[in-house]
Amino acid sequence: MTLSTCKPYTYLLVMSFVVAATAAASTDDPPQADSGAIPPGYSTTVTGTTHDFDYFMGSGWLTTQHRLKETGVGSKEWYTYPATLCATHYLGGMATVDEMYAPTKGTSGLTLRAFDPAKRQWSIYWVSSRDGLLEMPPVVGGFHGNQGEFYSEDHDAHDRPVKVRYLWTIRDQDHARWEQAFSYDNRTWETNWIGDFVRGDRAKLCDDGRPRR
């Protein structure tokens, strides 16, 4: 039976269904994130060892930092600035502290890492010289080979909930990269901070384990 031979009420019912289906298919609204979904790779069970950060100890590091100007809005604009980083381990390697100093910005940041031998995981905390606050919660995880993965749930600067990912990549004996990414939709990652590191002379770059001013 074609539409031309339908009874009037049948015709109206069919056309109503077609119009509704077309409207649903052409809507401009983005798909809603599945509240039970997680972005690729997200896990708070990644483990490591107390030697994960040995690579970074005993040297000073020259670094170029790249920060996305605004997160969660699709921005493609970045700030880029140089910095110096010096790292020291404590408690036989169970804890590490490094300070990064950015002379062109006049700011510093401190990273505290603590290893839980029962869980075989690192917890990583950040403190900025802007406010002196220990950021919570920490990201947790560890290294497998030359790749480190660390994750947590948090809120961004606008108090929007995000999942957080740190990735460390040891490229060779003297080069490494760190990346921070947020997931706003539980499906994709937006990288918003990248640090490229080159090993330097600690005697020239650091004073008592801190970046030379």
Residue ranges of E strands in 39-160: 60-68, 78-90, 95-102, 107-116, 121-128, 139-144, 147-155
More confident residue, 32 or 166: 166
- In sequence order, the 6+-apart residues with CB closer than 8 A to the CB of 14 are 3, 6
71 token code pair: 């997160």
Query: pLDDT tens for residues 164-185?
Result: 999 999 999 999 999 999 999 9
What structural domains does the chain harbor? 54-70+77-211 (2.40.128.20)
Give the per-residue pLDDT at 36.
61
Confidence of residue 188 (pLDDT cuts 50, 70, 90): very high
Rounded CA separation 90/33 (Å): 42
| Cis before 137 (ω within 30) | yes
pLDDT in tens, 105-154: 999 999 999 999 999 999 999 999 999 999 999 999 999 999 999 999 99
In this prediction, residue 37 carries a pLDDT of 80
pTM of the predicted model, to two decimals? 0.82
Closest CA to 111 of 61, 147, 160: 61
pLDDT in tens, 39-98: 999 999 999 999 999 999 989 999 999 999 999 999 999 999 999 999 999 999 999 999
